[in-house]
Amino acid sequence: MKDGPRPTEQPSQLNSQTPSIRTFELKDECGINNLPNQIMAKAISDGFVFNILCVGETACGKSSLLDSLFNTRLDSTPATHENARVYLRKSTYDLFEREIRLKLTVVETAGFGDQINKDDSFKIIGDFIDEQFQAYLDEELKIKRNLSSYHDTRIHVCLYFINPTGHSLKALDLVTMKHLDSKVNIIPIIAKSDTISKNELQRFKQNILNELNVAGVKIYRFPTDDETLAEDNLKANNLLPLAVVGSNETVKVGTQYVRARQYPWGVVQVENENHCDFKKLRESVIEKNMLDLIETTHSKHYEIFRRTRLAELGLTDSIDGKQFSISDTLEMKHNDLRKELEKREQQLKEAFIQKVKDKEVELKDSEKQINEELTNIKKQYKDQKDKCDEKWRILEQEINFFEQRKRTNVGTIKKGNKKK
């Protein structure tokens, strides 16, 4: 005990009901400081998952930008303007950079904005995001769940591509972003920004921000609470919406080959911050804030969906200020359903008995009506029979009278013949 750690009491500013906290100072290292290394090693071994949703009209440069972001050529097929509805094309890739493995899932819209009736365009996208949340919730609620090996398909960021009109947002853009802002982290992007001048681009950015504020659309803001990233993220936030240029071609500028777009009047370099905001986009999304996008998706957007879905199922944490566990809530829900079932069963019984009574009354009325009709038929039959009997009696009288006259006439004729 002499060589052991000695407790040092800390002055307690809490009330007498709260026990004081004692701390121990370790004389030698025991390996606690190696815990971050263990976490890092496990994370590197498991790899990381990142899912991107690209929303934008056909031929706005979604695939080219993704190729430029990850410095590779992803499999993509150009979409046409002939789609009758909006489709979502999903592709998953395994990317390796040094010893880090990233499972990247890219979901692109096809046919977005090409239909005359665009009412269902944004609903299809929102339903897809909810389906990914529902799949994760189903895995969470399983009795035997395995989230460690579960492929998380929840969308972590939505890159919303805005056509460089230079004036304002389209109504479809506002409606879609308003429908998605509570479901996913939205980063608005001005696609093919090299098609408008710098002055027009600044006015266009300001118009977009003003319209988003008026419409109440909440876009993702890069976090500024971390001192090491605050300055860079603040600059990125001031550049929103980011004006980008994507290219799969390399052009020789000076002594170096860079990703760029070659025009007759010059070269637009993709990674030159004086030409576009592509470099700032890649740094902010991939290099510095990818983990924040993943955590925000889980702690904010998925949590909103989870609470709403469980509330729809009748699950709650408290009723009238009283706290309940999930098992208590399920038991209460079970009792409520059982009572509702019994009530419904009683209603069905009463309805069945009432129907039987109504049917009995109906049958009795029918029986009475049939008996009355039968009585009338019997009476009519009796009247007809009496009439027939009377006619038959009269006919027999006429026959008898005729036979009598016949015999009389025959006797008279015979007497006359004898006299002759």
Task: Flag whether 298 is in a domain.
Answer: yes
Contacts within 8 Å (CB) and 24+ apart, 247-252: 247/64, 247/68, 248/64, 248/67, 248/68, 248/73
pLDDT value, residue 269 = 84
Residue whose C-alpha is closest to residue 54's, from 149, 156, 127, 143: 156
Say if CB 186 and CB 240 are below 8 A apart. Answer: no
Look at residues 313, 333, 364 and tell me which one is the last residue of a structural domain: 313
Residue whose C-alpha is closest to residue 219's, from 173, 192, 244, 184: 184
Task: Flag whether 388 is in a domain.
Answer: yes
How far apart CA 94 and CA 72 sit, in angstroms, is: 12
| Beta-carbon-side half-sphere exposure of residue 411 (alpha carbons within 13 Å) | 6
Task: Flag whether 180 is in a domain.
Answer: yes
| Percent of the chain's residues with pLDDT above 70 | 89
The region that residue 320 occupies, defined by phi over 0 for left and psi between -120 and 50 for alpha, beta otherwise, is left
- Looking at the fold, whether 258 and 361 belong to one and the same domain comes out as no
Task: Flag whether 380 is in a domain.
Answer: yes
Q: Is the pLDDT of residue 96 over 70?
A: yes
How far apart CA 53 and CA 122 sit, in angstroms, is: 13
pLDDT value, residue 68 = 84
What rounded mean pLDDT belongs to the chain?
84
Angle between helices 171-180 and 121-140 (to 10 degrees): 10
Task: Flag whether 201 is in a domain.
Answer: yes
- Looking at the fold, whether 394 and 304 belong to one and the same domain comes out as no
- Prior bond to 19 cis, omega within 30? no
- Looking at the fold, whether 217 and 81 belong to one and the same domain comes out as yes
Q: Is the pLDDT of residue 349 over 60?
A: yes
Residue 278's φ and ψ, nearest 5 degrees, are -60, -45
Structural domain containing residue 369: 324-409
State the CB neighbour count (10 A cutoff) for residue 342.
Answer: 10
Q: Which residues pair with 162 in a beta bridge?
A: 190
Determine how β-strand 256-263 pairs with β-strand 250-253: antiparallel
- pLDDT-derived band at 320, boundaries 50, 70, 90: low
Q: What is the pLDDT of residues 75-86, one digit of tens each?
A: 766 666 667 788
Q: What is the pLDDT of residues 26-63, one digit of tens each?
A: 777 777 788 888 888 888 888 899 999 999 888 788 88
Domain count, the chain: 2
pLDDT value, residue 66 = 87
- Looking at the fold, whether 134 and 234 belong to one and the same domain comes out as yes
Task: Flag whether 70 is in a domain.
Answer: yes
Task: Flag whether 262 is in a domain.
Answer: yes
- Looking at the fold, whether 307 and 328 belong to one and the same domain comes out as no
Q: What is the pLDDT of residues 180-218, one digit of tens each?
A: 999 999 999 998 888 888 889 999 999 999 999 999 999
Task: Flag whether 417 is in a domain.
Answer: no
Say if CB 52 and CB 66 are below 8 A apart. Answer: yes
Mean pLDDT of 397-407: 86
pLDDT value, residue 1 = 42
Q: What is the pLDDT of residues 13-33, one digit of tens each?
A: 445 455 677 777 777 777 778
Max mean pLDDT range (140-149, 161-170, 299-308): 299-308
- Looking at the fold, whether 293 and 171 belong to one and the same domain comes out as yes
